[in-house]
Structure formats: C-alpha cells, structure tokens
Structure 1
Amino acid sequence: MILKLKNPLSFFDLETTGINIVADRIVEISIVKVMVNGEVIKKTQRINPTIPIPTESSLIHGIYDEDIKDAPTFKSMAKEFAKFLEGSDLAGFNVLKFDIPVLVEEFLRADIDFDTSNRKVVDVQRIFHMMEKRNLSSAYKFYCDKNLENAHSAEADTIATMEILEAQVQKYDGMDVTDMKGNKLGIIENNIDTLHLLTNKNMVDLAGRMVFNSDGEEVFNFGKHRNKKVSEIFQKEPSYYDWMMKGDFPLETKKRLTEIKLRGFNSK
C-alpha cells in the first residue's frame, strides 16, 4: 500500500546519550523522507554530542565515544537538517514523547526555531497501542484464547495471570530473549529462577530509581546523576543521600540507599 501524501513525510529516529530530553544529546539521526511522488530520500548522520556517552547507552545503540569523536556536532549541521525537513510532515515510533522533543531542543540550542505546530505528526507507536491493546484481557485472549470474564476482579485477574504465564512458558520454552538491538538477554525456560532474572534483570529498588549497570554496579536511574554510581555520589556529595531520605521516595528505595551507604562506610 502506498501512503497518500499531501506533503513529504519524514520518518526519523534518534540515537542519544540517554533519555533525558533536556540534558542528553543526539549521537545519530536517520531520516527517511518519502516524497509525494513516492520517491524515497535517506539521510543518516553520526553526531558528536560534545558530552560523553554513558556505557549503558552505548551498549544499547552500539555507538561509543571513539566512534563519534571526529563526527560533526549537531549545531554545525542544524541548518542542513532544517533545510532537509523543510515543508515535511513527521513520523516515527514514540516520536511525540521523545524524538521530537529532543530534536527541537537540539535545534533551539543551535538558535533554530524548528516549529512543529504547522506540521502533521504521526506517531506509529500510538497507533500500535491503540489497535493492539497491551492489557491483561488482551494477553489472556492472545495466549489462552479466552475472554476474561469479571475483569478487574482480583481473583479473576490473578487466575488469568497464572494461566498466561503457563501459556507463555509453553509457547516460548527454549527460545532466546533479545533486546531491540538483537543482543541476547537470556532464554525462556520453565524455571522460576530464570524467569525472575529475565523480568528483574537490572533492578536495584522496586521503584526503578536505581539499576545495575553492565558491571553489576548500582547506578542512579533518574535526575542529574543518572548512570552515575550510587556509592561514588554518596562519597562526593553526601548531601544527596540526605536529600533522598527526606524526599518523596518509597521506603523500599530509601532502605536500598541506606544499605549501599552503610556498605561503603563499613568498607572503609
């Protein structure tokens, strides 16, 4: 099926240093511009973000500091990108929540007002979520081919969840689990230890404020210290621990914070 277009439609995707819209930067941008006549024009460019790329981000997209040290900065190419996107509507996967805000931030830092208010924007992820529901009832129908009666009744939901897990293990037993880049994360087995590791692979606290990095070290997963080791921050900035303990964080998160702080104190 050929898309019916009134304006060129530019599909685009960003690889970035992280997921903070304000603080993080683009390391790669790829644009596939579909013209009204069906012609497709591609433009992909590695970008020097001018800040270090955290290892956790590099492990996801495969781009390391060494790979972009000689690449142009976004500011040096901003006018070229703006010209390429001129008069074009926009499309992508999860672009409304992430890619477009990041792109606009980069343009503004380069003193270019990239106005999206006069462009049509299509977020493919939203259509996916609207048409393919991701709730318990749809999972029950998909895996068990049953309609969930009395949905949101605690007992009915619990029984359905049990049946879904049994069906998942039967359907995927022995299959590899990979991330979005094809890196193997593990394997589905009829083994609770294995399933636990897959579904809780890098969590430190239940709220997700801290995660394990690729070296098994606790790092912050939010705020100004995102991707930085918790123990190192507590050494360099002890007040940060006090701020979190007084802040509106779950008690379980505070418990984990205290365990890490005490571990560091006892090791001295």
Structure 2
Amino acid sequence: MSWIDGPLLGFDTETTGIDVDADRIVSAALVRRDASGTHVRTWLLDPGVDIPEAASAIHGITTQYARANGEPAALALNELASVLAEAIAAGVPVVAYNATFDLCILDAELRRHGLATLAERLGRDVVPVIDPLVLDRAADRYRSGKRKLVDLCAFYDITDTGRLHTADVDVVATLDVLAAIVVRYPDLGALALGPLHEHQVTAHRAWAEGFNAWRTSKGLTGPGAEIGWPDRRILVDQSAD
C-alpha cells in the first residue's frame, strides 16, 4: 500500500490577509480521508479584528458574520491545533496546498493567544507534511502558467470543486489534486513518508533559490520566496549543502 491510500489529513485556512505574522485566521477546515471515506470538520472564528473587504470578497466571510457566529479565536485555535497534533503524532500526514502559509499563520496565531504551537505540542518538528504545490512544481518544473489551486484543478481535470476559497472545499480539492499527481507520477506514491517529506524540503529550496535568482536578475526588490519548507526556518542539516 502507498501513503496515498490514507489516512490523510487535509488542512486549510481562510484569513484576513496574506501576512502570516500579522493577519488572522477566519475559518479553518480539517478533512480526513481514509478507507471509510472523507470526513470534514470546520471552524468559524471571530478573529478579533475587522476582516478587510478584499478578504471577504474572496472567502465570503464578513466581520459582522464572524462576530455573530464565530467561536472565540483562542478556543477554536486550541481545538484545531489539538486535532492536528494528535493526528500527526499518530503518523497521519498533513496535506496542505502552499503548506508554509497555513502552518506558519497557525503557529503565529497560537503564539498570539499564548497557546502551544504544533511543534511544541509534538515535541518535534511538524513531520510529515505533503504539499501538492511543491510536488507539482518539482515534477513538472518547466510547465508554463500559474499554479494556484484552481489552476492545478484545471490541469489535473478536477472538476467537482464546488466553491473554491471556502476552507473545506479547498481541502477536498487539494486531496483530489494530490491523488491525481500520484497517478501521473507513481514514483511519489512509492516513497515512504519520511523520504517524501525530505524530497519536498529539497525541491522547495531549489525552486525558491531559482526564483529568487530570477528576481535578482530582473532587478526586483523585496524579500522574495522563503527558502524553508514547511517551516520558514532553515534547519542546519538542510542547509549543509
């Protein structure tokens, strides 16, 4: 059997913006896929700040709705992190599209509320993580076009996507894209979870360094792509080369 047969735990957030250090989680979903089927759990949070109209336009959650219907952020975040940590500790891989964003904003939110991060709950790094964006980019490096989730759904013929930019719908689509990637590249499905995680660490770093070099060649300024994956930290054994 391959890890693609499950169990897998998909994870996604919808937020007030794209700054992982300053923005807040508005909704989150965990979708467990195993032999018994697909099981969805969602959270709606009152983030404690106004949700910008631009963010509401994407995910459909307004400040007023979140305040009226959302759980207190600290309560929901602690519950979400507890379920994630329990699954990871049991060896279930977390699947997230652009995983660095969701994992880093979750950690920032947990710290903001004085709660233990995922790594602190586990007593180790958050491993294994599977990111279809990283896998697709490494396997088909020179394919032109954008690689947002909607783009990969189109490329891999995932048609039953519902309303993307809703956390639970995005997670189901992410799991479907991952399954299609493994069909196209069966060597990925043959890897054990540990080597698969390390493959993504290396692949993401190679992509980020190449992307940042391209930015420099074009005279572009700014921070560029983070080198670390899925944590923004660069671990010593990953930077020794």
Normalising to structure 2: TM-score of the pair?
0.51
Q: 2:132 aligns to what?
A: 124
Q: Which residue of 2 aligns with 1:20?
A: 19
Point out where structure 1 has 5 or more consecutive residues left out of the alignment: 141-178, 182-206, 210-268
Higher relative contact order (CA 8 A, sep 6+): 2
Equivalent in the alignment of 1:100: 103
Helix, strand or coil for the counterpart of 2:23?
Answer: coil
Q: Residue type matched to 2:4 in 1?
A: L
Letter of the aligned partner of 1:82 in structure 2?
A
How many Å separate the matches in 1 of 2:126 and 2:67? Answer: 35
- Amino acid corresponding to residue 128 of structure 1 in structure 2: D
| Unaligned stretches of 5+ residues in structure 2 | 146-162, 166-219, 223-241
* Aligned twin of 1:67: 65
2:52 counterpart residue number? 54
1:3 counterpart SS class: helix
May I ask how many residue pairs the two structures share in their alignment?
140
Q: Secondary structure at the match of 1:34?
A: strand
Pairwise CA distance, 1:113: 2.6
Q: Kindly state the Cα deviation for residue 139 of structure 1 after the two structures are TM-superposed.
A: 4.0
Deviations 1:15-71 (Å, cap 9, x if unpaired)?
000001111000010110234x44432111111110111111111111111110121
Give CA-to-partner distance per residue, 1:110-150, whole Å, 9 cap, x none: 322311615200111111212233x5xx449xxxxxxxxxx
Structure 2 counterpart of 1:9: 8
The CA distance in 2 between the partners of 1:131 and 1:31, in whole Å, is: 26
Percent of aligned pairs with the same amino acid? 26
Report if aligned partners of 1:108, 1:114 keep a CA contact under 8 Å in 2: no
* Counterpart contact for 1:78–1:112, Cα < 8 Å: no
Question: For the residues of structure 2 that align with 1:125 and 1:64, how far apart are their CA atoms?
Answer: 28
Structure 2 match to 1:87: 87
**Whose helix fraction is larger, Structure 1's or Structure 2's?**
2
Displaced runs of 4+ in structure 1, greater than 4 A?
A: none
Does the CA contact (< 8 Å) of 2:12 and 2:30 recur in 1? yes
Give the secondary structure class of the aligned counterpart of 1:69.
helix
Partners of 1:99 and 1:63 lie apart in 2 by 18
CA contact (8 A) 1:17 1:26 kept: yes
